[in-house]
Amino acid sequence: MEAIVLAGGFGTRLREVVSDVPKPMAQVAGRPFLEWMLDNLSVQGYSHVVLATGYKHEVIEQHFGNEYCGLKIDYAVETEPLGTGGAIVNGLTLCGEDEVTVLNGDTFLAIDHKDFRSFAEQKGCGLTMVAREVDDAGRYGSVVINEDGKVIGFEEKSEQKKHGHINGGIYRLKASLLAKYRVGESFSFEKEVLQQYYRHNNVFCYTTNCYFIDIGIPEDYHKAQRDFAERRPER
């Protein structure tokens, strides 16, 4: 099984606490956050991971090399920022399967990936995503789904606190979904693909209330230090 991890972020919001490494390499409980992610992907049955890198990509390459924890590692390096969509297209050039899992490199969501892949296969659509149930969806912006788990809309961030579902930053998608985009083209996967594709195609959400953390937010980065200190490396 193959996965693309989006690991090219600048970490602008984290500059006050992490300034010398790419955001996914920020130290969390004594280890780079990306180590926690890759350990989990190895345990979850993946064998090949493409790291879509950009800012200070050499730091990541020198740390992980081409094999880590039983995972074959390849690098899709951006010479200039490509956005999340461009990074995925870049990463797909190094994948051999038609369907891959895509994950944000600055979030951790403790789902059962085998169950998620089975869910996506059952739905049989070009794009399936994970939605995390939260008490304050306004903080992130929410995904609106119907009783069948089908995406019917998206709502922007707001100051109004309300229960709902947020984008968990994990997708299962067919490579053909992005066939119209050129390698090296810059675009946002969330805005130009996800928030448009659902209008004319079925997009289903695998919903969960599993542990979730986004280290791109300083408050949650500090929380992650405490949370992951209690976790054992999943090797």
List beta partners, residue 107: 214
pLDDT tens digit at each of 235 positions of the chain: 999 999 987 655 555 666 677 889 999 999 999 999 999 999 999 999 999 999 889 999 999 999 999 999 999 999 899 999 999 999 999 999 999 999 999 999 999 999 999 999 999 999 999 999 999 887 788 999 999 999 999 998 887 778 899 999 999 999 999 999 999 999 999 999 999 999 999 999 999 999 999 998 888 899 999 999 987 655 4
pLDDT at 15: 57
Sign of the alpha-carbon torsion through 35, 71, 177, 206: negative
For the segment(s) 2-128+169-196+214-229, the CATH number from 3.90.550.10, 3.40.50.1820, 3.20.20.70, 3.40.710.10 is 3.90.550.10
pLDDT at 65: 96
Alpha helices in the chain (DSSP H): 33-43, 57-64, 83-92, 113-123, 195-197, 218-229
Which are the contacts of 81, defined by CB distance < 8 A and separation ≥ 6?
8, 54, 186
Tell me the three state secondary structure of residue 75. Answer: strand
List beta partners, residue 133: 165
How many Cβ atoms from other residues are within 10 Å of residue 141's Cβ?
A: 15
pLDDT at 138: 75
pLDDT at 18: 64
Per-residue pLDDT tens digits for 179-231: 999 999 999 999 999 999 999 999 999 999 999 999 988 888 999 999 999 87
Chain Cα centroid distance, residue 47: 17
